[in-house]
Structure formats: C-alpha cells, structure tokens
Amino acid sequence: MGPLAAQQSSDEAYVPKQSDRPEPVAGDEAGFTPIFDGKTLDGWEGDPTYWRVESGSLVGEITPETVIRSNTFIIWRGGRPRDFELKLDYRITPDSNSGINYRSAIVPDPVTPENQFAMRGYQCDLDGKKRYSGNNYEEKGRRFLAVRGQVSHVVGGRPPILLSRFGDPKELATHVTDDWNEVHLIVRGNTLTHIINKQLMSVVIDDDVPNRPVDGLIGVQVHVGPPMKVEYRNIRLKNW
C-alpha cells in the first residue's frame, strides 16, 4: 500500500456497526494539556508554607508547627475554565482531607484574614478515610450537592433533590486506594460528573441559576484538622 492509500485508509469515516459497544481508550482522549510541569509552581499561586514541588508532585502539607485554622488552596492561574475535563492523580495520608475546587472564586477569610487563598465553589471532595471521596461539596457555598453514589438535581430554595442512587457509598469507597488514585472531572454546562479510578462517584445537575457558578478558578486544598499531606501529579485539562 502506497502513502496515499495509507492516508485514505486512516481518514476513512467511522461507520457504526450493530456489534459496536462503548469501549475504553488507551490513555487520554485528544485535547488534554498539562497544567503542572512537575518541577516548579509556575502558573500556580498559594502559600509556600504549605505547598511545594517534590518528586514530580504538587505537595500540600500541614505539620504540627503549621496547623491552620481555615482551609487554604493553591490556585492555577492559567484561566477560568467554563466547560472542561480535568484529570489528575492524587495520594493522601490517612487522616487528611483535601479536594479539587473548580468554577471557584477567591473569597475573604474571616477566620484567618491573612489567608489570601480561601475559595468558594464546587469541589470534588477527597479524604484519607474515604468518607467523602467523590462527593460534590460546594466549599463556602451550598455545601453537599451530591454524595457518593447519587445523581442529584439542585434547584435552590431547598436541599438538593435525589434523582437516583447508582451505588452504595461504602462499596464505591472500595474503588479508592491508599496509594495513587486517578480523578476525572467532566464539567459541561450545568452537569458535573466526578469519577475516581474510572468509577462514577457522583453527578450533579445544577439548575439553581442565581447561585451556580458558570466558570472560575481551579485549586487544590489543604484542610483544617490534624497534620496532613496530599500529593497531586499528572494534572491535565481539556477545554470545551
């Protein structure tokens, strides 16, 4: 087969067959780009007391000497994504609590006024005990929008409406390991999907128009509580 024939073959349009079924792909779909270089904090802003780069990972750590009174974040300053997918790996110590904020804003912190990196917005909750991992929690906002195993509808003026349960929270927690885990967030319009290790964890349909953010900052968190450590790596973004 000559070069032209090979090009024509590779460009042939996909024709669905009755036998076709959804199937995974190797690696990422096209369009993902790294937003953390694994070497520096270029493009990220946070308090260096708590954040550093180590062994290719973005590390957030609270020590006995640096215990905090309010949550603080390191924030990606490369844009305010609206519709996007975000993928990353995380590892967290057993007593730790963290989360990935998106469509978020920096807000004043009345508990710790010097904290310049408090955030309000959607969060994919993560914790070492796996009590909350995969929940959709709106930090400093409407709080629990969906817990693990739920599809919810947020309408405002009342608690979120439970539309469906697709799994038991304790069983779903078994898909989260004590080592590295992969998170995949799909944020399209008013539908927010959280996936950990290829397992669906929660889906929120947000129709609370006056209170829902439509774009915003991405950040990751160190949380109030005992000393903790969380690591993030392979952070990549796909805008729609």
Q: How many Cα atoms within 13 Å fall on the side-chain side of residue 207?
A: 7
pTM of the model: 0.94
Sequence ranges of the domains in the chain = 41-239
Q: How far apart are CA 196 and CA 179, in angstroms?
A: 13
What is the architecture, at CATH level 2, of domain 41-239? Sandwich (2.60)
Percent above pLDDT 90 for the chain: 95
- Residue range 185-226, pLDDT digits in tens: 999 999 999 999 999 999 999 999 999 999 999 999 999 999
Cβ–Cβ < 8 Å for 133, 201: yes
Q: State residue 11's pLDDT score.
A: 67
Mean per-residue pLDDT of the chain: 95
**Sheet containing 217-222, strands listed edge to edge, beginning at the edge strand earlier in sequence:** 44-45, 72-76, 217-222, 97-106, 119-127, 136-138, 143-146
Overall average pLDDT of the 168-179 stretch:
98
Q: How far apart are CA 58 and CA 219, in angstroms?
A: 12
* Total Cβ atoms within 10 A of residue 125: 24
Looking at the predicted structure, is the pLDDT value of residue 2 above 50?
A: no
Q: State residue 12's pLDDT score.
A: 86
Looking at the predicted structure, is the pLDDT value of residue 1 above 50?
A: no
Q: State residue 114's pLDDT score.
A: 97
Q: How far apart are CA 171 and CA 199, in angstroms?
A: 11
Question: CA-CA distances (angstroms) from residue 143 to 37, 81, 136, 159, 202?
Answer: 32, 21, 8, 10, 14
Q: State residue 20's pLDDT score.
A: 97
The closest alpha carbon to 71, from 50, 92, 52, belongs to: 50
- Residue range 87-138, pLDDT digits in tens: 999 999 999 999 999 999 999 999 999 999 999 999 999 999 999 999 999 9
